[in-house]
Structure 1
Amino acid sequence: MATSLDQSDFIKTALRLPRELHARVQVSAEAHGASINTEIIQLLLKALDGQTVEIGDKSLDEIEARMKRAMKHK
């Protein structure tokens, strides 16, 4: 990975995403000309800073609520 950022400032982590959410993040990343990793970081930063984050036509709060409901039905 070619980057000017110091990689020692990062922690590598595995993340499992629902397919629908992954697809939305991928579309968003492509629209912004970013990698999925960069897009996820930007989305997390916005969410943690209390900003409304939209993925497609859904906010992260809506997606989280849908995921919680889906997990209850499993």
Structure 2
Amino acid sequence: MASSTSTETKNSWPELVGTKGEEAAATIIRENPSVKAHTVNEGSFVTFDMRRDRVRVWIDEHGVVTKAPKIG
């Protein structure tokens, strides 16, 4: 297991694709407490503004993450 001594802040979570959305959101917040992560259903309308404190976790009808969550 790699050490987490880096000061670099994580901004993308491709490893969460295929996991449950609520669990993914909790993982994101735990790994980067400066962001708010929330699930969004595929096909939902969202704003296109860029925010450094937001992570959208896109989920399907089963609550499974469908694309890599990232800050924005």
TM category, shorter: under 0.3
Bigger Cα Rg: 1
- The normalised TM-score by structure 1 is 0.24
Q: Which has the higher helix share?
A: 1
Higher relative contact order (CA 8 A, sep 6+): 2
Task: Please identify which structure carries the higher strand content.
Answer: 2
